[in-house]
Amino acid sequence: MSRRAEAAVLGNEFSSKEGVLTLRRWRRIIQIASLAIIGQWSFYGIFRCPFIVPYVSCQNCPVITCHGRIFTMFWGIWLVIPLSVLIFGRAFCGWLCPGGLVTQLFGSIALLKLRTRNVLTRYLPYLKYVGLALALSVWLYFGQPREAVPIRVGSFFPSVALTFEHATPVWLVRTFVVLGFLVLGLLLANVWCRFACPAGGALEIVRKLSLFKIRKNNKCDDCDRCLQVCEMGTRPLEHNCTSCCDCLSVCPQNAIEITGLRRNW
Amino acid sequence: MTVSFLIESENVSREKGKTQPLGRRAFLATAAALPSVVSAGPEFSQKTLQVWACGGLAEALIPANRRFREKTGIEIAFTGAFAAALGKSLQGSATTDVFAGRVLALAKKLRATGKMMYFKPLCFTRYVVVTPKGNPAHISDIRDLATPGVRVILAPDASPPGGEAVTGILKKAGIVDQAMKNTVIKGSCVQRTLEDLIAGKGDASVVEFRLTRMPSFQGKVDIIPIPESLFPPGPLTFTIGVMNSAPDKTLAGHFVEFIRSAEGQRFFEAAGFIPAESEEGARLVTKLGVKDV
């Protein structure tokens, strides 16, 4: 992050349109950089990981060519994510997750943005916790069974084809559910990140402990302008806020601010 | 592209800490001194060779492929996975230039169905009992896995070479029921169960020797041999062959000869296999009847 951006975290300089554009540009640059660094691992997890719950068994996975294993990203990422959530909330979702970038791009052309407040958008986000419970139980209780033939070495796409060809029905169901949600994202914006992602569910649980937060102050008049620009269809500090900062410039009351250490303490 | 295949006696870069038994090394050195198998410089019509192989061979084939590329400039597009799955794909519509598979019957089947042009012996595997470093339960023989109180770790749901074959060994040793009773972890992946063993969650397991040569596990377990008479013959054999779908069968054949040369076979020995081109390998070729149909 630039010196200006760092200063803004405490000083709320990004309330200006120029500042928000700068920040949004930074977010896209960081997302693309993250895609370059962990994107391969991310997509291996969906398409080639032989286990039901990806990203948690990399240390002894037979797939040699996966970046999670080659560069021991497994350990690094599982250190970075807890740290990031304690400092910046669900910023990993908004700023670093390669899958998040894909769903955001899909969401930008989605037919229904779902940027409204109703019973559906209020309760559907809790489906994430069902996904999280399922993932935890498969991983920790059922012993993380291997349900696809690991293609230990091979070019990505031919190996994906072989993985699908020789996977068990359980693996296929798991993968098509994930892919189904991603494709559904072309109809309902960010449906995977908002309503289904187990990792997002885990981060959501501890998000409120974060040091830095985007929040509404008492000038907020519930006009929902922030909701209209939010890719996650939420408002600052409410369920599913990923600290993306897109809402900073749109509030007519100037009621949205980033609070840091001083404000929290 | 012109290629010179001088099978040199030069040192092959091997992974740190990997050693070779003296007898085999001497044999391979002798073999390396023999005239080159392929010393001509033929023209090849393609710059990339597609190689499919049993995933267990990956640790040997990755450096061997790299060496082949250094010598020839030919890129190897390598896919390594459970051989039976790859074989099933090859019997369908999938194609590759070279296939190195486990289980002799699979190679014979590919020959019989006209998918494979020919095959040759590649290497052999063997099974061992492994314990955590220091062998805290004082295991000295596979039959000790039946001793009450010994915590056994197995992967019965792993692909057959790691699952069924190990169960077969326990059956032949006459201890399968008791060993299963002693099993504290039943996994679906041999590598994950070996990790559990190293972490001290069990006292003993049965795995292929090659696993103990993997960087993640090397030097982290004690190894106790298992008598060869207990091994099921099926998963012991690896072959390598040229497929009829290969556009340049000369190139595919040169790759096979490189892999079976003394230089190529060293990679397999370093990865924990018994090279087919060794005294021990020659004995197993005869014993297990590894001959093309």
Put residue A18 in one of left, alpha, beta given phi > 0 → left and psi -120 to 50 → alpha. alpha
The answer for residues whose C-beta is within 8 angstroms of residue B106's C-beta and 6 or more apart is B83, B84, B87
Q: Which two tokens stand for residue B168?
A: 């077969």
pLDDT at B10 over 50: no
Mean pLDDT of chain B: 87
Cβ of A59 within 8 Å of Cβ of B187? The answer is no
Q: What is the pLDDT of residue B18?
A: 40
Q: Which two tokens stand for residue A159?
A: 């190996």
pLDDT at B131 over 90: yes
Cβ of A62 within 8 Å of Cβ of B189? The answer is yes
Q: In whole angstroms, how large is the CA radius of gyration of chain B?
A: 20
- B62 vs A: CB within 8 A: yes
What residues in B contact A166, CB-CB < 8 Å?
Answer: 81-82, 85, 88-89
Cβ of B85 within 8 Å of Cβ of A159? The answer is no
pLDDT tens, residue by residue, A122-134 = 999 999 999 999 9
Backbone angles phi, psi at B185, to 5 degrees: -135, 125
pLDDT tens, residue by residue, B45-68 = 889 999 999 999 999 999 999 999
pLDDT band for A19, please (50, 70, 90 cuts): low
Residues of chain B with CATH 3.40.190.10: 22-125+234-288, 127-230
At the top level of CATH, the class of B22-125+234-288 is: alpha beta
What b/e readout covers A64-93, taking b as 16+ CB neighbours within 10 angstroms? bbbbbbeeebbeebeeebeebbeebbbbbb
Cβ of B55 within 8 Å of Cβ of A60? The answer is no
Of all residues in chain B, what percent carry a pLDDT higher than 90?
75
Measure CB to CB from residue A165 to each of B89, B158, B191 and give the nearest one: B89
Which residue in A has a C-alpha nearest to residue B52's C-alpha? A154
Cβ of A61 within 8 Å of Cβ of B187? The answer is no
Q: What is the pLDDT of residue A52?
A: 94
CATH of B127-230, one of 1.10.10.60, 3.30.2010.30, 3.20.20.70, 3.40.190.10: 3.40.190.10
Of all residues in chain A, what percent carry a pLDDT higher than 90?
68
- B55 vs A: CB within 8 A: yes
Q: What is the pLDDT of residue A182?
A: 94
Closest CA to A102 of A33, A30, A13, A183: A183
Burial class (CB in 10 A: 0-12, 13-18, 19+), B199: exposed
Bridge partners for B274 per DSSP: B124
Q: Which residue has the tokens 């080639």?
A: A48
Q: What is the pLDDT of residue A249?
A: 84
- B244 vs A: CB within 8 A: no
pLDDT at A253 over 60: yes
pLDDT at B7 over 50: no
Measure CB to CB from residue A60 to each of B55, B79, B191 and give the nearest one: B191
- As for the ipTM of the complex, it is 0.73
The answer for residues whose C-beta is within 8 angstroms of residue B19's C-beta and 6 or more apart is none
Cβ of A145 within 8 Å of Cβ of B77? The answer is no
Measure CB to CB from residue A154 to each of B78, B159, B187 and give the nearest one: B78
Of A70-74, A150-154, A256-260, B66-70, the least confident: A70-74
Q: What is the mean pLDDT of residues B157-165?
A: 82
Q: Report A:127-166 residues touching B (Cβ under 8 A).
A: 143-146, 149-155, 158-159, 162, 165-166
**Chain B interface disruption, residue of A60, A162, A171, most B CBs within 10 A:** A60
Q: What is the pLDDT of residue B15?
A: 39
What residues in B contact A69, CB-CB < 8 Å?
Answer: none
Spatial distance between the Cα atoms of B240 and B119, rounded to a whole number of angstroms: 5
